[in-house]
Structure formats: C-alpha cells, structure tokens
Amino acid sequence: MKKKLEARVFFFFVAALLASGSHGSKQSDNRTKNRAALFIFGDSLLDAGNNNYINTSTLDQANFWPYGETFFNFPTGRFCDGRLISDFIAEYANLPLIEPYLQPGNNQYYYGVNFASAGAGALVETFQGFVIPLRTQAKYFNKVERKLRQELGRREAKQVISKAVYLFSIGNNDYISPFATSSHFFNSFTPSHYVSMVVGNFTSVIQEIYRKGGRKFGVINSLPLGCVPGPRLLGNGTCFHKLSQLAVLHNRTLSLALSHLHKHLPGFKYSLYDLYTEGIRRINHPSKFGFKEGKRACCGSGPYRGQATCGGRRGQKYFELCEEPNHYLFWDSVHFTEFAYKQFAAQLWGSHTSNSNSVKPYTLSHLFQDL
Ligand SMILES: *[C@@H]1O[C@H](CO)[C@@H](O)[C@H](O)[C@H]1NC(C)=O
Ligand SMILES: *[C@@H]1O[C@H](CO)[C@@H](O)[C@H](O)[C@H]1NC(C)=O
Ligand SMILES: *[C@@H]1O[C@H](CO)[C@@H](O)[C@H](O)[C@H]1NC(C)=O
Ligand SMILES: *[C@@H]1O[C@H](CO)[C@@H](O)[C@H](O)[C@H]1NC(C)=O
Ligand SMILES: CC(=O)N[C@H]1CO[C@H](CO)[C@@H](O)[C@@H]1O
C-alpha cells in the first residue's frame, strides 16, 4: 500500500453519504421555480472538498495551505488557489456555491450538490480505495433523487431533475493511474479498448441519470494530460506523448458517444467543452491569454515544479510557491489556477466576451436558460 502511494507522483480528483431532511415542500416551492439546479460529478477539476471526508491519502486531498490561499483564504479541499470551473458556473447561473455531498450537515439539494472526488475515474479500478469512483457518485445521486421525491413530491422532484444541469469532468485519472501505480490492469487492454471502457462507463452513468429524468449535460473533456507539469517530467521537458495520446483518443471517442446519445435519446441535450485544445493554446501561447508562465506550476518542486509536493504534506516538506498565482496557468503539478479556470468557465458558459468555438453543440448558459 505504501509503495503504491509513493509511486503516485501526480494525479487528480473528487464525492458522498446521506443526511436526513428538514424542510417540507411548501418552503421549497419558490426555490425550485424558474431555476435550474447544478449537480456536479467527477474528479479534482470539480471536487469542492468531498475527499476531506473520506479515508484517503494526502495525495488525494488539498485541505491544507497554500491550497485555497487566494479566494477563500482557507483550504477548502479544492485543488486550486481559488475557485474551480463549477464555482464560476454556479455564480453565472445565480446559484449559491454548490456544497460537497459529504460535507456534514449538507442536506439541502434544491440548488444541486457536488459529488466529485479528486483522483476518481470512470473505472472502479482507478486509484481504488482512495477515491469515490464515478459509479458510487451516481449511487449518491440516486439517494438525492429519492430524497427530493420524498420532500417535494413526485411531480416537483421530477421538475427539479429535468431542469437541472449535470456537469462532469471524468477520465483524466483513468489515464494517469496506469503510469502512477504498479497496477497491471491497464496492460491487459489495447489503448483503444481501454478508452472505450472509460467512455462506456461514463456514458452508462449519463444514461442512468437520463432514465431518472435528467436531460441537460455539461461535459469537460480530458485536459492535455501529457503536457501538464507532472507528466512533463516523464517526458524530459517535452509533453509525455503516451499520456497525451490517450487524452486525444478519449476526446474523439467521447465526442462521438455524446452525439450518438443526442441522436437516440429524446430531449437529451449537452455542452461539450474542449479543455484539451484550450489547455494546449495556453501552454503554447500563455501571454495571449494573460499568463506569464504556461509550463511551470506555481506550487511544487523540481523541474517545472512538476513534483506533487505543494503544501509539504505528501511525504516531502520542501516545496516552492510563486508570489502571484494569476501569472501562472498551472497551480500545481496537474491542476490549473483560478485565473485559468475562470477563462475556461466563461467559455463553457458561452459568455459574450469569451468568443470560443470550443463548446458544442450548446453553451451551458443555453442549457440553464432552457427551462
Ligand atoms: C413564494 O413567492 C410569492 C411571491 O413571489 C410569495 O407570496 C409566497 O409567500 C412565497 N411562498 C413561500 C412558501 O415562500
Ligand atoms: C483508513 O485506511 C487505513 C489504510 O489505508 C486503515 O489502516 C485505517 O483503518 C482506515 N481508517 C478508517 C477509519 O477506516
Ligand atoms: C466498465 O468498466 C469495467 C472495468 O471496470 C469493464 O469491465 C466494463 O466493460 C466497462 N463497461 C462498459 C459499458 O464499457
Ligand atoms: C530522459 O533523459 C534521460 C537522460 O538523458 C534518458 O535516460 C531517458 O530515457 C529520457 N526519457 C525520455 C522519456 O525521453
Ligand atoms: C487534440 C484533439 O484531438 N482535440 C479534440 C478533442 O475533442 C474535441 C471534440 O470535443 C475535438 O474537437 C478536438 O479536436
């Protein structure tokens, strides 16, 4: 177990338990009207602190300084200096911050809830035992759906579910884990078979939510995995090709799978955000997007600050921290800064200033407005 932990130089992340309810349907009436809730699933790109409440390692947690140093002024569990894409989306949609499912006392789901868990993948094998896999996140959603039905009644609950937007970032860890652990699971498959399993498990969760009445899905594809600071170490300063190849294959397969669902499921709508392409653009031309540094992380150690030592709680006390996170594209060995997430969120939302062709076929604001 220890060996396996130490071998994990870099990684990602993600949510869940059910608390009992309090408010009756009368009070919720106005809250659910004319407003779409936001349910969040996936990995560390979207985990707002669920992993604070599971038995895992500090590799999969970010609840210590300097995580959270800019916006929240305390470590919330987000793998970032500040807010994540999902936090900005909630703000644009006039929702409050969407709380982690496992956060004690969090049992109000009218605005949605966050199930994401850092390190999680679509496959249960991915960082097994340390994360909340997507399948378990979906089970927690089923509990939430049942609770909404009990509180609001079948009809109103159904409305909340069908108006809601379901936001996902998943797959990154399924591709990182084979290089970060000594597990041989990955080696039993060809890359394309492996990718089809990842996307297959992902879309089966989407279909399960669709069967419960969910209709509006926001999906963030894989980031350029080989070109982030941690994996760049393995590539001797260039992008780690094997990992980027998996991300590209994932993006193609995912894009086809979603358009297939769109054709075959009545009422199914989605926004697919091409984080891969937008990430590469900023890595290659940081100054065009307001960054001073596109390859080196703000927090960490070693070349590119690619070693996952940010915070000094992961087996090595020494780490470096930049003065101004907003000058950097990357916050730590695999994660972006708040400044970067804000740009991605604006594009995914489709705000007028973002001017992006990287969200298709609908923008997320379109899905939210479509009540
Ligand atoms: C809902 O809103 C209406 C006016 O918008 C108000 O009169 C009513 O009291 C509200 N109901 C609840 C339960 O808050
Ligand atoms: C947490 O996991 C460790 C091993 O990873 C184990 O020794 C410990 O008993 C677990 N604690 C709980 C509360 O489950
Ligand atoms: C889901 O992943 C498992 C491995 O965890 C695999 O055996 C199964 O075939 C996958 N399912 C789909 C629909 O691809
Ligand atoms: C990186 O460089 C070292 C020494 O120059 C070499 O042994 C190693 O094979 C290189 N790795 C890659 C992935 O190119
Ligand atoms: C590099 C690459 O292949 N990017 C693709 C990722 O997937 C999207 C579809 O969402 C394509 O448009 C990109 O070209």
SS (H, E, C) 55-102: CCCHHHCCCCCCCCCCCCCCCCCCCCCCCCHHHHHHHHCCCCCCCECC
Q: Hey, how many other C-beta atoms are within 10 angstroms of the C-beta on 356?
A: 20
- pLDDT of 107 reads 87
Check pocket membership of 235 for ligand 4, CB cut-off 6 A: yes
Selected catalytic residue, list 28, 43, 44, 169:
44
For residue 255, the one-letter residue type is S
Tell me how far CA of residue 52 lies from CA of 9, 47, 131, 234, 343, in angstroms: 20, 10, 11, 29, 27
- pLDDT of 32 reads 59
Q: Hey, how many other C-beta atoms are within 10 angstroms of the C-beta on 96?
A: 11
Which one, of 49, 194, 46, lies nearest residue 134 by Cα? Answer: 46
Is 327 a known active-site residue?
Answer: no
Can you tell me the distance from the alpha carbon of 306 to that of 230, in angstroms, rounded to the nearest whole number?
Answer: 4
Q: What is the pLDDT along the chain (371 residues), one digit of tens a residue?
A: 444 443 343 333 322 222 223 334 444 555 656 789 999 999 999 999 999 999 999 999 999 999 999 999 999 999 999 999 999 999 999 999 999 999 999 988 999 999 999 999 999 999 999 999 999 999 999 999 999 999 999 999 999 999 999 999 999 999 999 999 888 899 999 999 999 999 999 999 999 999 999 999 999 999 999 999 999 988 888 999 999 999 999 999 999 999 999 999 999 999 999 999 999 999 999 999 999 999 999 999 999 999 999 999 999 999 999 999 999 999 999 999 999 999 999 999 999 777 779 999 999 999 999 87
Q: How does DSSP classify residue 332?
A: S
Domains of the chain: 2-369 (3.40.50.1110)
- pLDDT of 29 reads 54
* Lookup result for tokens 């579910």: 161
Q: Positive or negative CA dihedral for 177, 179, 181, 184?
A: positive
Can you tell me the distance from the alpha carbon of 139 to that of 312, in angstroms, rounded to the nearest whole number?
Answer: 34
Dig out the tokens for 15 from the structure: 């949510």
Ligand 4, atom nearest to 240 Cα? 13
Check pocket membership of 312 for ligand 4, CB cut-off 6 A: no
Check pocket membership of 191 for ligand 4, CB cut-off 6 A: no
**Among the bound ligands, the one closest to the CA of 204:** 3
Contact by Cβ (8 Å): 225, 234: no
Tell me how far CA of residue 220 lies from CA of 15, 275, 277, 341, in angstroms: 18, 6, 11, 12
- pLDDT of 352 reads 77
Question: C-alpha 360: how far from its chain's center?
Answer: 18
Q: Any idea what the Cα angle at residue 80 is, between residues 78 and 86, rounded to 5°?
A: 65
The strand pair at 359-361 and 269-273 is best described as: antiparallel
Is 335 a known active-site residue?
Answer: yes
* Residue 20 CB-density burial (10 A; 0-12 exposed, 13-18 middle, 19+ buried): exposed
Can you tell me the distance from the alpha carbon of 106 to that of 109, in angstroms, rounded to the nearest whole number?
Answer: 8
Is 44 a known active-site residue?
Answer: yes
CA of 32 to the centre of ligand 1 (A): 12
Tell me how far CA of residue 291 lies from CA of 38, 217, 223, 325, 330, in angstroms: 30, 30, 18, 10, 10
Which residues does ligand 3 sit against, CB inside 6 Å? 123-125, 197, 200-201, 204
Can you tell me the distance from the alpha carbon of 118 to that of 362, in angstroms, rounded to the nearest whole number?
Answer: 27
Q: Any idea what the Cα angle at residue 352 is, between residues 351 and 355, rounded to 5°?
A: 95
- pLDDT of 212 reads 97
- pLDDT of 108 reads 86
